């Protein structure tokens, strides 16, 4: 039976490989950085179990490791890592043609199929996936299947997948970790009462009896918090708990489905404007080795601002129909 922890161990093995390669090349900060993350992924279940049992030491060690990661990130420098010669890559691209898109397209296709059919997937009488949220295990398994497909299509040795993955990982550097960290930030903010504080602040500053004022506060707040945290998923629980539920849904009768869906899309306009959205904005600039790390953001601003305004109008029209 597959659980998400099994894929964490696979990821930990890859991160250890990346750390080992960096150690061989004398990039000690990179080696320790990826090695620490590998240990955190591999021991996550043990730390959680120990914490539930009342032993706080493993959790404290994990916290110390996170602090050390932040310190190591200041020592990591983006460097070009050698890849195959351009002539070889062009020849391979011409030989494979559109087959190159196959592995990438397999990831969403396999993920959706597993999510839809996951309950029916069995080996003999044993379910293939454990009960609970199947989306993350489905995505992880789809990534492995796509990697195998890429090896088959390109006829490269399997180790090439790990080598190229490590090259991309070190090209991105510490920014590769930002999406994972930022995704947890919304839950931390919601648990610490930030939503209630936002609600009290908004009620004191804007006329709470005006649906337009509350809607603007919610929509623009989604954009602002996304700019700060880099992820609309992190902003959503804060703004929904602070403004969406108490003011727009309960007080003004907004439709929860329309408010949530369009509010999330509105928040992603902030994703286009911020370097905190590392996977969207910093990572492409690093992979393309652009001189200006904010070049992607500059190109997206003329789209982000009009799209934000259109979303605000749609949200008002559809949430209060």
Q: Of the candidates 185, 181, 184, 186, which has an alpha carbon nearest to the alpha carbon of residue 237?
A: 186
Range from 18-32, 205-219, 227-241 carrying the lowest mean pLDDT: 227-241
> How sure is the predictor about 51, in pLDDT bands with cuts at 50, 70 and 90?
low
- pTM beyond 0.85: no
Cα(49)–Cα(55) distance, rounded to whole angstroms? 9
Q: Is the pLDDT of residue 262 over 80?
A: yes
Q: What is the per-residue pLDDT across 209-220, written as a single tens digit (0 to 9) for each?
A: 888 998 999 999
Q: What is the per-residue pLDDT across 4-21, written as a single tens digit (0 to 9) for each?
A: 788 888 899 999 999 999
CB atoms within 10 A of CB 196: 14
Q: Can you give the pLDDT at residue 219?
A: 92
Cα(19)–Cα(245) distance, rounded to whole angstroms? 45
State the DSSP code for 240.
I
Q: Is the pLDDT of residue 82 over 90?
A: no
Q: What is the per-residue pLDDT across 102-152, written as a single tens digit (0 to 9) for each?
A: 898 999 999 998 888 877 777 777 777 777 778 888 888 899 999 999 999
State the DSSP code for 129.
B
Q: Can you give the pLDDT at residue 223?
A: 93
CB atoms within 10 A of CB 258: 17
Contacts of 27 (CB under 8 A, 6+ apart): 79, 170
Helices (H), 25-56: 28-52
> How sure is the predictor about 35, in pLDDT bands with cuts at 50, 70 and 90?
very high
Helices (H), 74-100: 86-96
Q: What is the mean pLDDT of residues 178-184?
A: 71
Percent of the chain with pLDDT over 70: 90
Report CA-CA distances (Å) from 312 to 8, 19, 119, 254, 256: 39, 46, 39, 14, 15
Q: What is the mean pLDDT of residues 232-245?
A: 83
Q: Is the dihedral of CA 33, 4, 260, 209 positive or negative?
A: negative
Domain boundaries defined on the chain: 1-81, 83-156, 178-319
Q: Can you give the pLDDT at residue 145?
A: 92
Q: Is the pLDDT of residue 58 over 80?
A: no
60 alpha-carbon distance from chain centroid:
25
Report CA-CA distances (Å) from 321 to 35, 253, 280: 53, 10, 34
Q: Report, in this order, helix, strand and coil percent for the chain, each rounded to 5.
A: 75, 0, 20
> How sure is the predictor about 31, in pLDDT bands with cuts at 50, 70 and 90?
very high
Q: Can you give the pLDDT at residue 56?
A: 57
Q: Can you give the pLDDT at residue 317?
A: 92
Q: What is the mean pLDDT of residues 236-249?
A: 86
Q: Can you give the pLDDT at residue 52?
A: 56
């Amino acid at each position: 039976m597959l659980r998400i922890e099994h894929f964490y161990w696979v990821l930990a093995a890859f991160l250890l490989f990346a750390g080992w390669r960096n150690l061989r090349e004398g990039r000690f900060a990179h080696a320790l950085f990826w090695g620490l993350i590998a240990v955190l992924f591999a021991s996550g279940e043990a730390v959680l179990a120990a914490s539930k049992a009342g032993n706080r030491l493993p959790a404290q060690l994990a916290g110390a490791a996170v602090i050390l990661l932040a310190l190591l990130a200041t020592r990591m420098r983006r460097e070009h890592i050698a890849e195959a010669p351009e002539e070889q890559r062009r020849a391979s691209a011409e030989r494979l043609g559109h087959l190159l898109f196959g592995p990438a397209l397999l990831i969403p296709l396999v993920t959706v199929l597993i999510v839809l059919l996951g309950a029916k997937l069995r080996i003999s009488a044993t379910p293939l996936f454990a009960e609970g949220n199947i989306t993350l295990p489905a995505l992880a398994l789809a990534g492995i299947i796509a990697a195998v497909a890429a090896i088959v299509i390109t006829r490269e040795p399997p180790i090439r997948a790990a080598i190229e993955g490590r090259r991309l990982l070190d090209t991105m550097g510490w920014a590769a970790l930002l999406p994972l960290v930022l995704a947890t930030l919304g839950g931390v903010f919601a648990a610490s009462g930030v939503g209630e504080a936002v609600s009290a602040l908004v009620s004191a500053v804007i006329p709470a009896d005006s649906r337009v004022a509350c809607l603007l506060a919610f929509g623009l707040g989604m954009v602002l918090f996304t700019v700060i945290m880099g992820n609309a998923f992190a902003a959503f629980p804060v703004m929904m708990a602070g403004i969406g539920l108490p003011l727009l849904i309960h007080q003004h009768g907004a439709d929860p489905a329309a408010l949530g869906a369009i509010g999330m899309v509105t928040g992603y306009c902030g994703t286009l404007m911020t370097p905190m959205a590392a996977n969207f904005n910093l990572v492409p600039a690093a992979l393309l080795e652009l001189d200006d790390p904010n070049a992607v953001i500059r190109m997206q601003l003329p789209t982000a601002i009009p799209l934000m305004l259109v979303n605000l109008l749609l949200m008002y029209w559809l949430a209060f129909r």
